[in-house]
């Protein structure tokens, strides 16, 4: 994949915005944010424009905007990623910034294994992952990143000044699993651990990845919600676990879904290390029942433990809801599976190619 803003955002489908506010991303420092606060940079959406809205400092803008620079140098902003990971692409979105966008930008990255005071971050050894590149005004400027190292922070540099509506940092979470004890229960579905919803049949009202984000949803917009089903069948989503694991407890949270919660759900698992599942009928994927069809309640946290029929090991979990509706959070608590012949990344060794569950 070549660098360049002729790329389409769709090339990053299946990746996580590592800087997202919902994942725990945080804007730490900026050289200047005179006209518009640096914290706007990682908020949801592309930003809005209100023609007649002003502040005591000038025109209100939904983004990060610096004052006009009258001396040498350039402006910058440091973001702590919500989860450490490998960055595969970025979107420097100048939506609504017309005549006041930066003509160029670059991005540096940093990997810290321990906490450093914010004021000391500028002294760390930053690595350039996106060289100085031209930006278009009022546009998503999308670039591929080819460095496959693990990062915890990024620094957006703009030349010389101006406004950026949003910054998206697309990649894959890479947690240090060597720090996890063998007896430690982990949410294997959590986006912050590297879980990913690889497929679903519908997400008309709410994105599929919302249900594996940290914390409880603040409203219905922060969950996975399908449209009203008018034909036979049911809705479903497939979660690729952060690591192959043995399932101990599952949570299905219908928080905020009152007149639109699913009537019931059931859960299946599959063991397919090193592979993706993008539809229910993918050849070679064998699903095994974990939770039989079970009634759900409105606006309620459902915990299943004794009800679980099998523990795995599993690499993928399929949540089915009937007939439709919304799930705000989906948690899969388990132990990392100690399966001989499987690498830490979940790759299947030759001797396990014919692995069959008991």
What residues form DSSP beta bridges with 84?
Answer: none
Residue range 227-237, pLDDT digits in tens: 999 999 999 99
Out of 158, 173, 188, a domain closes at: 173
- Asked if the structure places residue 113 within a domain, the reply is yes
Same domain, 146 and 255: no
Same domain, 317 and 298: yes
* Whether the bond into 160 is cis, omega within 30 of 0: yes
pLDDT of 3 over the 60 cut: no
Please tell me the least confidently modeled range out of 3-17, 54-68, 70-84, 143-157.
3-17
- Structural domain harbouring 308: 177-352
Q: State the average pLDDT for the chain.
A: 90
Out of 150, 173, 196, a domain closes at: 173
Burial of 77 per CB tally in 10 Å (0-12, 13-18, 19+): buried
Same domain, 162 and 198: no
- Asked if the structure places residue 267 within a domain, the reply is yes
Q: In the prediction, which pLDDT does 285 show?
A: 77
Residue range 270-280, pLDDT digits in tens: 998 877 766 65
Same domain, 274 and 132: no
Chain Cα centroid distance, residue 27:
17
- Asked if the structure places residue 357 within a domain, the reply is no
Same domain, 260 and 348: yes
Residue 231: φ, ψ to 5°? -135, 165
Residue range 62-105, pLDDT digits in tens: 999 999 999 999 999 999 999 999 999 999 999 999 999 999 99
- Asked if the structure places residue 35 within a domain, the reply is yes
The span from the CA of 301 to the CA of 283, in Å, is 34
pLDDT of 313 over the 50 cut: yes
Q: In the prediction, which pLDDT does 343 show?
A: 46
Q: Who has greater pLDDT, 13 or 223? A: 223
Q: In the prediction, which pLDDT does 282 show?
A: 59
pLDDT of 358 over the 50 cut: no
Give the confidence band of 317 by pLDDT, cuts at 50, 70, 90: very high
Same domain, 16 and 122: yes
Q: In the prediction, which pLDDT does 12 show?
A: 82
- Within 10 angstroms of residue 67's Cβ, the number of other Cβ atoms is 14
- Asked if the structure places residue 358 within a domain, the reply is no
Q: In the prediction, which pLDDT does 113 show?
A: 87
The answer to whether 160 touches 73, Cβ cutoff 8 Å, is yes
The answer to whether 96 touches 51, Cβ cutoff 8 Å, is no
Copy the structure tokens of residue 261.
């919660």
The span from the CA of 102 to the CA of 162, in Å, is 5
Q: In the prediction, which pLDDT does 357 show?
A: 32
Q: Who has greater pLDDT, 180 or 356? A: 180
Same domain, 114 and 183: no
Supply the CATH number for residue 286's domain.
2.60.120.260
- Asked if the structure places residue 197 within a domain, the reply is yes
Q: In the prediction, which pLDDT does 338 show?
A: 63
Same domain, 192 and 321: yes
Q: In the prediction, which pLDDT does 279 show?
A: 61
Q: In the prediction, which pLDDT does 13 show?
A: 78
The span from the CA of 250 to the CA of 294, in Å, is 13
Residue range 278-289, pLDDT digits in tens: 665 555 678 999
The span from the CA of 265 to the CA of 234, in Å, is 9
Q: In the prediction, which pLDDT does 354 show?
A: 31
Exposure letters 228-240 (e unless 16+ CB within 10 A, then b)? ebeeeebbbbbbb
The span from the CA of 83 to the CA of 61, in Å, is 28
Same domain, 91 and 134: yes
Same domain, 336 and 198: yes
Same domain, 169 and 181: no
pLDDT of 225 over the 80 cut: yes
Q: In the prediction, which pLDDT does 333 show?
A: 98
Q: In the prediction, which pLDDT does 278 show?
A: 64
Residue 76: φ, ψ to 5°? -155, 160
Q: In the prediction, which pLDDT does 337 show?
A: 86
Q: Who has greater pLDDT, 339 or 274? A: 274
Same domain, 345 and 247: yes
Out of 173, 191, 220, a domain closes at: 173
- Asked if the structure places residue 235 within a domain, the reply is yes
Copy the structure tokens of residue 10.
């769709």
Instruction: Give how many domains the chain has, as a whole number.
Output: 2
- Asked if the structure places residue 260 within a domain, the reply is yes
């Amino acid at each position: 994949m070549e660098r360049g803003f002729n790329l389409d955002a769709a090339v990053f489908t299946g990746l996580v915005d590592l800087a997202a506010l919902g994942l725990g991303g945080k804007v730490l420092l900026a050289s200047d944010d005179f006209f518009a606060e640096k914290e706007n940079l990682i908020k949801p959406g592309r930003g809005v424009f209100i023609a007649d809205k002003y502040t005591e400092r000038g025109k209100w803008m939904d983004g990060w905007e610096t004052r006009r620079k009258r001396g040498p140098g350039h402006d910058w902003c440091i973001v702590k990623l919500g989860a450490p990971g490998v960055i595969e692409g970025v979107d420097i979105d100048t939506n609504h910034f017309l005549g006041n966008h930066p003509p160029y930008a670059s991005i540096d990255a940093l990997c810290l294994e321990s906490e450093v005071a914010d004021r000391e971050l500028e002294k760390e050894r930053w690595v350039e992952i996106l060289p100085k590149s031209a930006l278009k005004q009022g546009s998503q400027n999308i670039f591929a990143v080819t460095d496959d190292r693990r990062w915890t922070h990024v620094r957006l540099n703009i030349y010389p000044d101006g406004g950026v509506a949003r910054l998206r940092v697309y990649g894959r979470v890479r947690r240090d699993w060597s720090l996890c004890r063998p007896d430690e229960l982990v949410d294997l579905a959590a986006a912050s651990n590297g879980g990913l919803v690889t497929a679903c049949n519908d997400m008309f009202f709410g994105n599929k990845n919302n249900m594996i984000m940290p914390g409880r949803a603040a409203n219905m917009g922060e969950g996975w919600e399908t449209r009203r089903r008018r034909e036979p069948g049911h809705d479903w989503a497939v979660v690729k676990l952060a690591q192959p694991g043995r399932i101990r407890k599952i949570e299905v949270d219908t928080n905020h879904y009152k007149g639109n919660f699913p009537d019931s759900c059931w859960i299946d698992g599959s063991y397919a290390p090193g592979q993706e599942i993008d539809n229910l009928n993918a050849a070679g994927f064998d699903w095994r029942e974990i939770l039989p069809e079970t009634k759900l309640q409105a606006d309620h946290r459902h915990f299943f433990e004794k009800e679980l029929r099998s523990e795995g090991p599993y690499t993928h979990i399929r949540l089915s809801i009937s007939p439709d509706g919304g799930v705000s959070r989906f948690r899969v608590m388990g132990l990392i599976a100690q399966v001989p012949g499987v690498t830490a990344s979940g790759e299947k060794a030759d001797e396990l190619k014919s692995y069959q569950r008991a």
